[in-house]
Amino acid sequence: MALLEVQNVSFSYDKLNKVIKNVCLSVEEGEYIAVIGHNGSGKSTLAKLFNGLQKPDEGEVIVDGFSVHDKKSEFEIRKRVGVVFQNPDNQLVASIVEDDVAFGPENLGVPRKEIGERINFALSAVGMEKFRHATPTRLSGGQKQRIAIAGVLALKPKILVLDESTAMLDPKGRKEVLDVVNKLNKEQKVTVIAITHYMEEVIDADRVIVINDGEIALSGTPREIFAQKDVIKGYGLELPFSAYIAEKLKQKGVSLKSDILDQTELAEALCALK
Ligand code: ADP
């Protein structure tokens, strides 16, 4: 069984209008999944269904073998699925960084000695060891969001769900957070599900899921997804910058290996211009 199994899930807030409709999704351990879709398509709701914050009206969500319908599993699921939200200011609870990171494990009843180890691990994973005794409110947006991620990592989750977690950050802060998340995925094998509207953040994912009107409209590798330019635009989504460049180069007659270019391919294609 996959680490996260979403089976025929439907959900509504008012018991009338379904905002998630018959969604099926299997996420394997270590995958990096990007979820995209226009505003109101149901992405955040899906994130809340992943960690049991909302329960499906129909269907099943199983995390590492634990069903969200089973009251006794709540605790196990919360430990396994950490969610980082958009606004870091709403996620930081303490006036000193280390207390903030300790908050989650303390609530889970982790022994004092182990909490110290977890703070060390989490702060070092996000590159914020030096800020252990700092005041969160005095940090930059990117630093605050890295502390929010450390708070989630201190619970040792198997799945990290990022719900537009870079949306309020400047480009530098966004890069800091993305670098940390990529490293966690590659080195610690943390499974990542990143909801984003920055198409550039999607390109390196293993798999992209496009949500439209509460349904999975498309699923595939970034190259497979962005090759369907008109379909993507039809869902109200932008193409990544590199796909626009590829489109323009093709119009100029430059032959390309792919519709999505990495930096080297882009440089080669530009050099091929006469
Ligand atoms: P997205 O994250 O893609 O912007 P959401 O999951 O936030 O989409 O919202 C999906 C739909 O559910 C929207 O129509 C939104 O208005 C509605 N919705 C979201 N949160 C609530 C809520 N707490 N109560 C009622 N409706 C909600």
Q: What is the pLDDT of residues 81-107, one digit of tens each?
A: 999 998 888 889 999 999 999 999 998
Q: Do 169 and 270 share a domain, yes or no?
A: no
Is there a contact between 151 and 99 (Cβ–Cβ < 8 Å)?
A: no
Q: Which has more pLDDT, 260 or 149?
A: 149
Query: Quick one: 230 and 110 in the same domain?
Result: yes
Q: Is residue 206 part of a domain?
A: yes
Q: Give the list of residues 6+ apart from residue 111 with CB closer than 8 angstroms, or none.
A: none
Number of alpha carbons in the 13 Å side-chain half-sphere of residue 246: 20
Q: Is residue 26 part of a domain?
A: no
Co-location of 159 and 274 in the same domain = no
How far apart CA 105 and CA 84 sit, in angstroms, is: 16
| Mean pLDDT within 148-170 | 92
What are the phi and psi torsion angles at 235 (to 5°)?
-85, 10
- Specify the residue with its C-alpha closest to ligand 1, atom 12: 19
Q: Is residue 265 part of a domain?
A: yes
Burial class (CB in 10 A: 0-12, 13-18, 19+), 225: buried
- Averaged over 216-233, what is the pLDDT? 92
Q: What is the token pair recorded at 114?
A: 């182990």
Q: Indicate if the pLDDT at residue 257 is higher than 80.
A: no
| DSSP code, position 238 | P
- Pocket lined around ligand 1, Cβ cut-off 6 Å: 13, 19, 37, 39-45
Taking CA atoms only, the protein residue closest to ligand 1 atom 22 is 13
Residue 251 in domain:
yes
Over residues 36-86, the pLDDT tens digits come to: 999 999 999 999 999 999 999 999 999 999 999 999 999 899 999 999 998
Alpha-carbon distance of 169 to 231, in angstroms, equals 29
Answer yes or no: do 244 and 260 share one domain.
yes
pLDDT at residue 14, rounded to an integer: 96
Distance (Å) from CA 42 to ligand 1 centroid: 6
CB 4, CB 25: distance < 8 Å: yes
pLDDT surpassing 80 at residue 260: no
- On the question of pLDDT at 215 being above 90, the answer is yes
Specify the CATH number for the domain of residue 144: 3.40.50.300
Note whether 50 and 63 are within 8 A (CB).
yes
What is the rounded distance in angstroms from the CA atom of residue 9 to the CA atom of residue 82?
Answer: 20
Q: 106 with 133, same domain?
A: yes
Chain centre to alpha carbon of residue 115: 25
Together in a domain, 187 and 246: no
Q: Give 85 Cα–ligand 1 centroid separation in angstroms.
A: 15
- CA-based R_g, the chain, Å: 20
Are 96 and 181 found together in one domain?
yes
Decide if 128 is inside a domain: yes
Average pLDDT over residues 173-198: 91
For residues 130 and 215, state if they share a domain.
Answer: yes
The predicted model gives 216-220 an average pLDDT of 97
Position in ligand 1 atom list of the atom nearest CA 163: 2
Domain of 271, in residue numbers:
240-274
User: What pLDDT, on a 0 to 100 scale, did the predictor assign at position 253?
Assistant: 85
The Cα–Cα gap between 159 and 6 comes to 14
Is residue 68 a contact partner of residue 9, using CB atoms and an 8 Å limit? no
Instruction: Give yes or no: residues 116 and 252 share one domain.
Output: no
Q: Is the pLDDT of residue 167 over 80?
A: yes
* Structural domains of the chain, count: 2
Q: Are residues 262 and 141 part of one domain?
A: no
Q: Which of 45, 49, 29 is CA-nearest to residue 37?
A: 45
Neighbour-count burial for 107-125, b at 16+ CB within 10 Å, e otherwise: eeebeeeebeebbeebbeb
Say yes or no: 113 and 192 in one domain.
Answer: yes
Distance of CA 259 to the CA centre of its chain: 24
Residue 247 belongs to some domain of the structure: yes
The CA 57 to ligand 1 mean position distance, Å, reads 15
Average pLDDT over all residues of the chain: 92
User: Are residues 119 and 145 both part of a single domain?
Assistant: yes
Residue 172 resides in a domain: yes
3-43 pLDDT per residue, tens = 999 999 999 999 899 999 999 999 999 999 999 999 999 99
